Amino acid sequence: MEGLQGAPLTVLFASDGGNAENLSKRLANRGKARGLKTMVMAMDEYPIEDLANEQNVVFISATAGQGEFPQNGRNFWEAMKNSVDIDLASVKFSVFALGDSHYWPRKQDKHYYNKPGKDLFARLTTLGGETLVEIGLGDDQDPDGYQTGYLEWEPKLWDALGVGNVEGLPEEPAPITNEDIKIQSNFLRGTIVEGLQDTSTGALSAADQQLTKFHGTYMQDDRDLRDERKAQGLEPAYSFMIRCRLPGGVATPKQWEQMDDISTELGNETMKLTTRQTFQFHGVVKGKLKPAMQAINKALMTTIAACGDVNRNVMCSSLPEQSKLHADARDAAQKISDHLLPATTAYHEIWLKEDDEKAVQVAGDAVQDFEPLYGPVYLPRKFKITIAVPPHNDTDVYAHDIGLIAIRDEKGDLAGWNVLAGGGMGATHNMKKTYPQIGRMFGYCDNKDVHIVCEKIMLVQRDFGDRSNRKHARLKYTIDDMGLDVFIGKVEELWGKKFEAPKPFEFKSNVDTFGWLKDEKGLNHFTMFIENGRIEDTADFPMKTGLRAIAKAHKGEFRLTGNQHLILSNVSDAELPKMKELLKQYKLDNTNFSALRLSSSACVAFPTCGLAMAESERYLPELITKLEGVIEENGLRQDSIVMRMTGCPNGCARPWLAEVAFVGKAFGAYNMYLGGGYHGQRLNKLYRSSIKEEEILSIMKPLLKRYALERNEGERFGDFVIRSGVIVATKEGRDFHDNTAEVEEDE
């Protein structure tokens, strides 16, 4: 040990999601504790001409896309791969690679598993490097994920460096978890104020990035610009997404104008109508974040609890043809939303007070916040509630933590609710312990009790949800682990009442009804098609300008739908000609699209979503265009088929309930799922893995033709593919991974 005191160890990483980077930093710290002189950095930051002068180097790389290096290691690898004059004869090295052996299930794709690490190890050997330890392979499929392989590899490294038996090593602090961040945040304050004032970076600290979600904003960066900015020596183009809290998705014309102003003056000049029935802004830079929050507040909206481990925006059916029922259902959504709102004053203090006002809450002051429902650590994970009014399931009532199905009395008025709980869309590719799930029926409750029932379900989740593993923390897993009857019993115990037997109901669709409808009061409503919810002006379609002009003239309200479309609501007969003329002037009256396009939905994905593995919003319209020929040829133009696409498996566009879904796996590659229920009542199942456009089209075209020729009268596409044996029906989330159409091939 004496002779090796201070021996150098350089640790270089290539990391997308942070695991390889965190491992590298921990390894360097452990090396330092063992007396080594350590240095750690991203591969692309390291000057490759220095490599031949190193003594001991360790490379840790994740696997991106189709066996590619993560973004911050690609330039390094290109230089290594193409170099002809690097001599590593005096360099000792090892490599640890992180990957998933099941991510690419086909035999011809198996070589993608840990490909960057394997390629780098082979290249270092070719260039004359001496192996310290054979390559270590971390596999997400192992019992402890990549840690299983890592725990075997790291001790061998220390032995090879002669520091394997060092005594008196300091105790390592446990990794900081989201639960730690929440409890240390002083009711969601953290150091957000200080971070906003720091002009040296466009980013916030990692902990504050978690906390700002509770305030309704996520930090993102423009992934289209990453390589260019890195080449210029600049940090990523950081900006923030802001999501409003808008129970029931109803806005006044004045609010529409105000949202339009915010997107133009403080965002990227577009708005997104989300699958959670609210407004979302992108491209808000840090310096404009507080002005944007204040502008939203001035519009009598808020963003608090639009994201984070709390109850989020409460959705409600849009119901253009039944205005009284819609008003009653929306009142329930508002009541639930208000009742479950976090009580912390941090939001007002951080965003709405002017900088020269004295903050009432400062660390150490006597005033203490109190969260009567949530407590200081809030919920284990996000919590989502939605309302559907039969026959319309336009909010995907089965997909949420709580789904409320409206039940009417003999007069047709709202009487109460059938309560579903334990739905949820998030999953992780190839991790079979994670799965989407549909809500389970709890029973019926009266309308006057609905906010209390929601509270009690949320409190049982607060107390029994898994706080140790965020991938297992949603309500769906709590119910599956405890058992439905046990969970219902705990809710009824807190509530002090029992659920009644569920009342009969019937859903007939979960898509929007486009065009003009008249309600029972004689008012008119126009549902317009907003493809994937994106409000923007283009050279040939001035949509954003047109909607602003309509808002200036409109005397009713706007309703955002859960399918990302927009309803011009409560138009009187006297105002109808003027509204029709404006819609026509700005080409917003066009609903003459194929039913496939009208029934489609996509999440944002690239360029702003940090989780995206593939395109979604920018690609789904193109894919549908390529399918519309076969749709027309086979007489299916008017036949609604629910098709959804997401850039990752977290499920923002609720793909797992679609009749056809494409979920991003890598850039340009998707998993294809079939067999979801047209009414949103049944999960789909994996049909093909990791397929690109050519294969998607070669599957879909004959399948659509077969559907046109062989379907029964009134049979929906999702039902047809099950009846005809193309796919096996998924009964509920726990059999989502069973009997898939594509079985993994052995090597």
Q: pLDDT by residue (tens digit) across 210-234? A: 999 999 999 999 989 988 888 888 9
358 is catalytic: no
Q: Please tell me which residue in 307, 316, 454, 609 is annotated as part of the active site.
A: 609
Instruction: Tell me, yes or no, if the pTM score tops 0.85.
Output: yes
- The answer to whether the beta carbons of residues 717 and 658 sit under 8 Å apart is no
490 is catalytic: no
Q: Please tell me which residue in 182, 330, 652, 685 is annotated as part of the active site.
A: 652
Is 50 exceeded by the pLDDT of residue 366? no
Strand spans (E) along 383-507: 385-388, 402-408, 414-421, 440-446
Q: Please give the CATH number for the structural domain made up of 515-585.
A: 3.90.480.10
Render pLDDT for 117-155 as a digit per residue (tens, 0 to 9): 999 999 999 999 999 999 999 999 998 999 999 999 999
Q: Please tell me which residue in 34, 213, 230, 243 is annotated as part of the active site.
A: 243
Q: Please tell me which residue in 382, 456, 559, 665 is annotated as part of the active site.
A: 382
* DSSP label of 136: E
Residue recorded with tokens 């493809």: 531
Which pLDDT score is estimated for 742? 83
- The answer to whether the beta carbons of residues 561 and 527 sit under 8 Å apart is yes
* DSSP label of 139: E
What are the boundaries of each domain within the chain?
8-160, 515-585, 595-735
- Interior CA angle at 485 toward 481 and 490, to 5°? 85
Render pLDDT for 659-682 as a digit per residue (tens, 0 to 9): 999 999 999 999 999 999 999 999
- In this structure, the dihedral spanned by the alpha carbons of residues 376, 379, 384 and 385, taken in order and rounded to 10 degrees, is -70
Percent of the chain with pLDDT over 70: 97
Is 90 exceeded by the pLDDT of residue 444? yes
- The answer to whether the beta carbons of residues 249 and 278 sit under 8 Å apart is yes
The whole-number average pLDDT for the span 550-576 is: 97
Residue partners of 216: CB distance under 8 A and separation at least 6: 242, 243, 244, 245, 293, 302, 303, 304, 305, 306, 307
Other beta carbons within 10 Å of 611: 16
Is 60 exceeded by the pLDDT of residue 4? no
Q: Within 13 Å, how many C-alpha atoms sit on residue 403's CB side?
A: 26
Which pLDDT score is estimated for 257? 98
Instruction: Give φ, ψ of 332 to 5 degrees.
Output: -65, -40
Q: Please tell me which residue in 276, 384, 467, 559 is annotated as part of the active site.
A: 384
SS3 of the chain: helix, strand, coil, percent, to 5: 35, 20, 45
* pLDDT range class, residue 105, cuts 50, 70, 90: confident
595-735 has CATH 3.60.15.10 classification = no
**What is the C-alpha separation between 686 and 673, in angstroms, rounded?**
4
Which pLDDT score is estimated for 231? 82
Which pLDDT score is estimated for 86? 92
- The answer to whether the beta carbons of residues 442 and 391 sit under 8 Å apart is no
244 is catalytic: no
Is 50 exceeded by the pLDDT of residue 747? no
- Name residue 10's amino acid: T
312 is catalytic: yes
243 is catalytic: yes
Q: Please give the CATH number for the structural domain made up of 8-160.
A: 3.40.50.360
Is 80 exceeded by the pLDDT of residue 245? yes
The whole-number average pLDDT for the span 474-483 is: 98
User: DSSP states of 280-340 as a string?
Assistant: EEEEE-GGGHHHHHHHHHHTT-B-TTSSSSSB-PPEE---TT-HHHHHHHHHHHHHHHHHT
Q: Please tell me which residue in 244, 445, 454, 648 is annotated as part of the active site.
A: 648
| Residue of 487, 409, 402, 494 whose CA lies nearest to 439 | 402
User: DSSP states of 203-270 as a string?
Assistant: ---HHHHHHHHHTTEEEEE-GGGHHHHHHTTPPP-EEEEEE-B-GGGEE-HHHHHHHHHHHHHHSSS-
**What is the C-alpha separation between 447 and 414, in angstroms, rounded?**
7
Element (H, E) at 115: helix 115-126
Instruction: Give φ, ψ of 690 to 5 degrees.
Output: 50, 50
603 is catalytic: yes
Which conformational region is residue 319 in: left (phi greater than 0), alpha (psi within -120 to 50 degrees), or beta? left
Residue recorded with tokens 């200036």: 552
Q: Please tell me which residue in 603, 654, 665, 682 is annotated as part of the active site.
A: 603
* pLDDT range class, residue 35, cuts 50, 70, 90: very high
| Residue of 158, 196, 306, 163 whose CA lies nearest to 242 | 306
Work out the angle between the directed axes of helices 484-495 and 450-464 (0-180°, nearest 10). 120
* pLDDT range class, residue 327, cuts 50, 70, 90: very high
Give the three-class secondary structure for 739: coil
Render pLDDT for 680-716 as a digit per residue (tens, 0 to 9): 999 999 999 999 999 999 999 999 999 999 999 999 9
**What is the C-alpha separation between 464 and 458, in angstroms, rounded?**
10
Burial 50-68 (b: 16+ CB within 10 A, else e): ebbebebbbbbbbbbbbbb
Strand spans (E) along 18-77: 37-42, 56-61
* DSSP label of 734: G
Which pLDDT score is estimated for 360? 44
Render pLDDT for 650-660 as a digit per residue (tens, 0 to 9): 999 999 999 99
Is 90 exceeded by the pLDDT of residue 745? no
Instruction: Give φ, ψ of 462 to 5 degrees.
Output: -55, -40
**What is the C-alpha separation between 574 and 523, in angstroms, rounded?**
10
Is 50 exceeded by the pLDDT of residue 165? yes
Q: Please tell me which residue in 92, 312, 548, 559 is annotated as part of the active site.
A: 312
Strand 217-221 and strand 136-139: pairing? Answer: unpaired
Which pLDDT score is estimated for 491? 98
* pLDDT range class, residue 455, cuts 50, 70, 90: very high
* pLDDT range class, residue 369, cuts 50, 70, 90: confident
What mean pLDDT value characterizes the chain? Answer: 94
